[in-house]
Structure formats: structure tokens, C-alpha cells
A and B are shown apart, each in its own frame.
Chain A
Amino acid sequence: MGFLDKNVSDTQIKLRNRLWLYFLSAIILFLLIVPSLVVIPMSFSSSQYLEFPPKEWSFRWYENYFFSWKVENGFNDWMAATRTSLLVAVLTIFVATPIGTLAAYGLTNSTSRLRAALFPIMISPMMVPIILVAIGLFYFYVQFKMVNSILGLVLGHSLVAMPLVLIIVMSALKNYDMNQEKVARSLGASRPRAFVEITLPQIKFSLISASLISFLTSFDEIIISLFVSGGDNSTITRSMFLALRDQIDPTIAAISTILIIISSGLLIISQLLSSKSK
């Protein structure tokens, strides 16, 4: 077959000889994507116990989730937790993105000595094991009575999101022609004005990406939330983890399905954005 005789590498290997690589890669990709999808059919199972494939179908776990605030024993108020997570995630956007963007701009425009010294400190939240950050924050919050507070959660999540914002915006600024700001200044714009009117509009796709990442990082954040939130201000991730660890509540399957849809949606949006900005 002519198709299999196509050259597919720089060393003129034919497709036919490389089929094993194609199959292997397909299998690995399959194993990457598909396992997560198993929760989707699980979420429609009517059974209380984990069994696969589900024998009967029902929406009960979705009902359990969406109407959890109705449950009198208040065993797991999933909706409240969702609300908390959403609120914190949105607030995190407004904390992490501006602070990270300003820092990225400052670092990009300063001399190399400053940059080399500060950069490691600024990405330290990514380097330090997150469990340590979590217990450190917990201890810190206990002193200031900030445990179980929205503020505590927002600050903790922003801490984790900011290095990502920094990297995204720094990379956008690296590809951006700073001469435009210089021109604007030569034409009469002060430095801040040039930044706002000329630079920001041109890195807006990166800013949106950074905001999306901040949102998702906060929403998905587990460990800091585990230690730092609780009671009225428990996050959805904390509730889910505790349910997973302590007893298997299939409502988790329903929530997971919803999460998969949301994160895939956000992923597609960000891919569209990044291809638009090219």
C-alpha cells in the first residue's frame, strides 16, 4: 500500500516500520483520556455501591448534589461548598492576575541582576511541597484567626496561582515588542498610560489565559483547602476528598462529571484563545 510506504521521519523511515510507535502512542493516549471518563456512566448508576458497569440508571446522585441544601441532616451541603469554591476562585482571579501581571512587567523591564535574584523567590510556591505550604498557612491562620475564612482561602489559592500568572505574562511580554511602549512615550504618553493603552490590549489573550488558569487552579485546589477551610466555608474539593477517603458517596461521580465538562470546556476555550492570538 502506498500509504504505508510514506516516509515519516528525517531518517526516511517508512510508516510501515513505525506502526508500532503509532499503536503504542494511541494506547498511551487512550489510557490518558479514558480512565477519567469512567465516572460519567458511574454518575448515572442508581446503586449506592461502587459497581461497574452500573446495573440500573438514575439521576439520584445529580439530585443529591443540586438539592443538597434541602437535606435536613446537612450531611454534605455540596451546593454550599460549590458556592464557596466558585466565590473563592473568582476572587482569586482578581488577586492573582493583577499582582502577577504587575510583577511580570516589573521583572521583564528591570536589569538582569534583580531578575535573577527575585525569580526563584517568586516561583517558590511551585517549588515548595504543597503540603508544607498548607500546614504553614494553617499554623499562620490559627494565630490570626483566619482559619475557615474566605480571605484565607483566597490568599492561599492566589499564592499557588501567582507563579503561573507570572510565567504566562512574562512569556507574553517576551514576545511583545516593547518598542511600542517607547513610541507611545515619545509621542507624549506617560509610562503608566502607555502600559494601559498600548501594552495591555496587546497581551489581553495572555491575561485571559492567566485568569482562566487562576480560576481553575483555585477551584481544583485540594490540599491548602483541606487544611485551611472547613465548616461553613468548606470548599467543594475538601468535601469531595473527605467523602472519597471516609466513605464512598457516589454523588462524587455526579460532581466529577460536571467538573470534567467544565474543565474540558475551559481547555477548549483557552486553546481557541491561544490560536487566536497567533
Chain B
Amino acid sequence: MAVLDQNLNQAALTQLARREHYTFFGLTLPYLVLVGAMIIIPIGWLFFLSFVGRDGSFSFENYERMINSKAYIRIFLTTFKISILTTFFCALLGYPLAYFMSQISRKWANICMIGVLIPFWTSLLVRTYAWLVLLQKKGLVNSVAVDLGLISEPIKFVHNTSGTLIGMVHIMLPFLILPLYANMRAIDPHCVKAASSLGATPTRAFWTVFFPLSIPGLLAGLLIVFVLCLGFYVTPAVLGGGKVIMAAMKISSNIELYFSWGAASALGVVLLVVTMLILFIASKLVSLDQFGQRS
């Protein structure tokens, strides 16, 4: 075989491969352009804006104000408190339901799933309004409780933390159940059977085999719920009645009422950074977890 200076057709083939690569990239281009123009640029802009002081020059004053102001500290605390509590209650209510759904036949599980999906597909406003109706002084909950003699006077459920929490748990619950259920369904039933055959009581088999295997789904659900809670606006705004102020509401009022873009952007940046941090940590956790699960 004669020795060639250049391999047969190599230049042309390399060009062909490159063109193919670009074609596929090109298909994703409209999407990327839209996301780039409408998320990356505006948020980059906001990031920049957060460093612009009231007089229009570069400054850290927006961030300084946040650290020093009692109001802002309270807002951060409230935001975290509500998010953590919501996440906790979602886990408490959602885990048993997801577990139940994963243990019954597929047919019945799908029927239950419709029950989970109906609120999910119902408008956020409708659900929030429904709780407003149910929880207020002359609402259903109070009327029934008074009629049954459980309480003598209506309890204040709305325009405070309890109302907000109830509403948010109701809205966030499907977000926890969906990934958790998917995970649980995928758990190999033979693992639990094996534990049983080896002598574990049903309770022990659950805690030592099933529960650990369900953790990735649980974590995914907790994560989604927590992150959504951090940035949540509608429900706290309506059910909190101005008494429960979360970060998103402050951002909005900064703009709508005070036109202080600097302050709003700074708070927004903080929210973004916290969100990204949590997602990042979780992504590391999840990849490690899945490694342990494959066997």
C-alpha cells in the first residue's frame, strides 16, 4: 500500500462531520436565542442594576441596606421559615400518599394520580381563592367548627402565617408527590421481598430497604418544593394579607410602589444565588446517591 501524505478523504470528511454538528446546533438555536435574549440578558441586566445606587453610580448600598435593615432580615427569616415549614409538611403528608400509591395496583394508582393532578392543573389563583373562602372568619372551616361546637369563636386562619402555610402546602404537595411516586414505583419489589425472606419484619424491611431507596425521589421533591417556595409570590400575597411578607413580594413592591430597581434587583440577585446554590448542592448529592443505588 502506497504511503499517503494525507489520509484518504480526510479533509472532506472532517468538514462533513463539522457541518452535521452545526446543523444539529442550528436546530437548537431559536430556543437558545429566545432564552438568551429573554432570560440571560435581562437577568444579567438586573445583576448589573443591583450595583447601581440611588444616585445612579456604582455602589453596594442596595446590598448594605439589606444586611442592615431589620425589615429585610425579617423578610429573609419569613421566607426561609415558610419555605422550610411548607417543605416539611409536604413531606409529612406527601410521603404516605406516594407510598400508598406505589403499593396498590397500577389501575388504582392511576386513578389516585388523577386526584393529585386535578389540583396541579387547576389554576393557582383558583386554589388560593378557594382557601381564602374556606379559611376566613365566615368561611366553611370556621362555620363548621362553630356549629359542631369545637370552638366558640372563629379562628383567624387567613391574613397570617397559618393561612399562608395551608395554602402553600396544598399547592406544593403535587410537586413533592410526583417525583417521589415515580421513584417509588421504580424500586425493585424484589429488594423488599429479599429483606423479608432474610428475616426482617415488615417495618424493618421498610426502613432499612424501601425508605433508603426512596430517598433520591424524596430529595428531588423536597428540593423542588423548597426552591419554589423561596420565590413564591401569589399565595403568600393573597393569604398572608400583607402580614406575611416573603422575598418575592418585597421585590414586587419595590418596583410597583417605590420604583427602586436597585433594591429590587439586589434582593432578586440574593434570591437567585441562594436558589442556584441549593440546586447545585442537590445536583451533587443526587449524582452520588444514584451511584449507590445501581446494583
- Do any CB atoms of chain A lie under 8 A from CB atoms of chain B in the complex? yes
Binding site for B on A (CB under 8 A): 8-13, 21-22, 24-25, 28-29, 31-33, 35-39, 42, 49-53, 99-100, 102-103, 105-107, 109-111, 114, 118, 121-122, 124-125, 127-133, 135-140, 155-156, 158-159, 162, 166, 216, 220, 222-223, 226-227, 237, 240-241, 244-245, 248, 252-253, 256, 259-260, 263-264, 266-267, 271
Q: Nearest-CB distance from A199 to chain B (Å)?
A: 13
CB contact under 8 A between A223 and B234, given known A100-B31, A106-B28: yes
- At the interface with chain A, which of B57-65, B188-196, B213-221, B286-294? B188-196
Instruction: Report which of A105, A136, A155 forms a contact with B34, defined as CB distance below 8 A.
Output: A155
Q: Nearest-CB distance from B187 to chain A (Å)?
A: 10
Q: Which residue of A lies closest to B99 (CB)?
A: A21
Q: Nearest-CB distance from B225 to chain A (Å)?
A: 14
Q: Nearest-CB distance from B88 to chain A (Å)?
A: 15
Q: Are B46 and A103 in contact (CB under 8 A)?
A: no
CB contact under 8 A between A33 and B34, given known A28-B93, A253-B129, A256-B125: no
Q: Which residues of chain A have C-beta atoms less than 8 A from B133's C-beta?
A: 38-39, 42, 50, 52, 253
Instruction: Report which of A53, A106, A127, A159 forms a contact with B140, defined as CB distance below 8 A.
Output: A53
Q: Which residues of chain A have C-beta atoms less than 8 A from B115's C-beta?
A: 29, 32-33
Mask for B216-238, Cβ within 8 A of A = 1, else 0?
A: 00000000000100110110011
Q: Which residues of chain A have C-beta atoms less than 8 A from B143's C-beta?
A: 52-53
Q: Are A12 and B126 in contact (CB under 8 A)?
A: no
Q: Are A267 and B129 in contact (CB under 8 A)?
A: no
State the 7 A-B residue pairs at the shortest beta-carbon distance, nearest first: A129-B231, A136-B42, A106-B27, A103-B31, A11-B202, A25-B100, A256-B126
Interface: B255 (CB within 8 A): yes
Q: Which residues of chain B have C-beta atoms less than 8 A from A22's C-beta?
A: 100
Q: Which residue of A lies closest to B125 (CB)?
A: A240
Docked CA distance A78–B91 (Å)? 38
Docked CA distance A200–B123 (Å)? 31
Output the residue of B41, B101, B126, B140 with the most chain A CB within 10 A: B126
CB contact under 8 A between A29 and B272, given known A50-B138, A129-B231, A244-B129: no
Q: Which residue of A lies closest to B190 (CB)?
A: A10
Q: Which residue of A lies closest to B166 (CB)?
A: A35
Q: Are A122 and B123 in contact (CB under 8 A)?
A: no
Q: Are A102 and B231 in contact (CB under 8 A)?
A: no
Q: Which residues of chain A have C-beta atoms less than 8 A from B206's C-beta?
A: 11
Q: Are A102 and B28 in contact (CB under 8 A)?
A: yes
Mask for B129-160, Cβ within 8 A of A = 1, else 0?
A: 11111101011100100000000000000000
Q: Are B118 and A36 in contact (CB under 8 A)?
A: yes
Mask for B23-40, Cβ within 8 A of A = 1, else 0?
A: 011111011101100111
Q: Which residues of chain A have C-beta atoms less than 8 A from B101's C-beta?
A: 25
Q: Are B129 and A252 in contact (CB under 8 A)?
A: yes
Q: Are B31 and A237 in contact (CB under 8 A)?
A: no
Binding site for A on B (CB under 8 A): 21, 24-28, 30-32, 34-35, 38-43, 45-46, 49, 93-94, 96-97, 99-101, 103-104, 112, 114-119, 121-134, 136, 138-140, 143, 170, 173-174, 189, 192-193, 195-196, 200-202, 205-206, 227, 230-231, 233-234, 237-238, 248, 251-252, 255, 261, 264-265, 268, 271-272, 275-276, 279
Q: Are B117 and A267 in contact (CB under 8 A)?
A: yes
Q: Are B46 and A136 in contact (CB under 8 A)?
A: yes
Docked CA distance A9–B203 (Å)? 12
Q: Are B196 and A155 in contact (CB under 8 A)?
A: no
Q: Which residues of chain B have C-beta atoms less than 8 A from A222's C-beta?
A: 124-125, 233-234
Q: Which residues of chain B have C-beta atoms less than 8 A from A10's C-beta?
A: 189, 192-193, 196
Q: Are B30 and A103 in contact (CB under 8 A)?
A: yes
Q: Are A24 and B96 in contact (CB under 8 A)?
A: yes
Q: Are A11 and B205 in contact (CB under 8 A)?
A: yes
Given A21-B96, A128-B272, 19 more pairs with CB closer than 8 A: A9-B103, A10-B189, A21-B99, A24-B97, A36-B130, A53-B143, A102-B30, A128-B275, A129-B248, A130-B231, A131-B248, A139-B42, A156-B38, A223-B233, A259-B126, A264-B118, A264-B122, A267-B114, A267-B117
